[in-house]
Amino acid sequence: MMERIATYWSERSPREQWMLGVMFALLAIVLLWFGVAMPLDRAQRSARETLLAATDRNAAVRVAVKQLKTLPREAATTGPATPIDQFVGQSAGEAGLTLERAQAQGSDRMDIAIASVRPVVLFSWLATLEAQDVRIDTMSARPSATAGSISVQAVLVRGAGQ
């Protein structure tokens, strides 16, 4: 087999050998690109999307578990005895959120800002707060620099709405 290839190669002129060499080099580049680089890129993107989805599910499950744990025991203890800024700060820490700004405006009102949060995590946390009698008075959200995240400013109020 190798003898046939060597014979075939030696029968070609130097110009033909040069052109065949360039063709085989280009063919190798194309095969490497479509056979190795593209599948690896697709696998990396798929893994990144899977990780983001798993992170969102993990946060939602953690919030749900915390809600279930607090329902029977702590529902009565989260009333007016705990200051709203302490309660919201602790709740945000448990949900894995970092409050960029947290300013109490009296005993039952608080202004917060979060620089970057995934919407699923934010709304799960807000649902937990509403179950604990802390509601949203005003809220504004904008896309943040991180893909798939938003930045939030909100005023939270303890007590029933009017």
pLDDT tens, position by position, 127-159: 999 988 899 999 999 998 888 899 999 999 987
pLDDT digits (tens, 9 = 90+) for 30-84: 999 999 999 999 999 999 999 999 999 999 899 888 887 887 554 444 454 688 8
Q: Is position 23 within any domain?
A: yes
Domain boundary among 70, 96, 112: 70
Q: What is the CATH number of the domain that holds 95?
A: 3.30.1360.100
DSSP 110: E
Domain boundary among 36, 70, 104: 70
Same domain, 17 and 66: yes
pLDDT of residue 78: 45
Q: Is position 76 within any domain?
A: no
Same domain, 94 and 29: no
Q: Is position 146 within any domain?
A: yes
Rounded to two decimals, the pTM is 0.52
Instruction: Provide the domain count of the chain.
Output: 2
Same domain, 63 and 101: no
Q: Is position 94 within any domain?
A: yes
Instruction: Report residue 17 as tokens.
Output: 């050998």
Q: Is position 79 within any domain?
A: no
pLDDT of residue 75: 44
Contact 156, 133 (CB under 8 A): no
Q: Is position 36 within any domain?
A: yes
pLDDT digits (tens, 9 = 90+) for 72-131: 554 444 454 688 888 899 999 998 898 999 998 888 899 999 999 999 999 999 999 998
Distance CA 66, CA 126 (A): 13
Contact 92, 146 (CB under 8 A): no
Q: Which domain holds residue 134?
A: 84-158
Same domain, 62 and 15: yes
